[in-house]
Amino acid sequence: MTRIIKTALLATAVVLATAGASMAATWAYADRDAPVRKNHAPNSQIINGVEEGQKVRIIGEWKNWYKVQLPGPDGWVRANAIDFDYYDDDYPTPSYPAYPVKPGFGTSFCVDGKNAQFCMGSQF
């Protein structure tokens, strides 16, 4: 019975870790200065702009365009101006125990990302 519970908890942890990773992908950075357009077309009206390094929230996607949420009007930016790993190369993601672990009584871990922190723990 304990083995079944441990297997179920492990499966749940994998599902949660996957969901956490996909939720973290809603934020990105402008890779360069770029216009924000009203629609996802190169000749669409420019309604805003992003600057290199600016953090934006991705709220839509269409072919090679991302719809971004930012101060001022939201709009569409070409995908080649958006980078999901802008700072990852210089700053590796640390991981560490969330709280002291007593051997034989459970384990825990946390992973810090640039957009969120994900922690997982168990007690047996």
What pLDDT, in 10s, does the model give residues 83-111? 988 665 455 444 444 444 444 444 555 55
Q: How many CB atoms lie within 10 A of CB 55?
A: 15
- Which range marks the domain in which residue 47 is found? 26-83
- Mean pLDDT in residue range 37-66: 95
Residue 13 is predicted with a pLDDT of 56
DSSP 80: G
Q: 72 and 50, same structural domain?
A: yes
Q: 73 and 42, same structural domain?
A: yes
Say how many domains are in the chain.
2
Q: 90 and 72, same structural domain?
A: no
Q: What is the CATH number of the domain that holds 30?
A: 2.30.30.40
Q: 101 and 66, same structural domain?
A: no
The answer, yes or no, to whether residue 5 has pLDDT greater than 60, is yes
* Token output for 85: 């790993």
Check residue 104 and give left, alpha or beta (phi > 0: left; psi -120 to 50: alpha). Answer: left
> What's the Rg (C-alpha) of the chain?
20
Does the model's pTM come out above 0.75? no
20 or 9: which leads in pLDDT = 9
Q: How many CB atoms lie within 10 A of CB 31?
A: 19
Mean pLDDT in the chain? 73
Q: 66 and 33, same structural domain?
A: yes
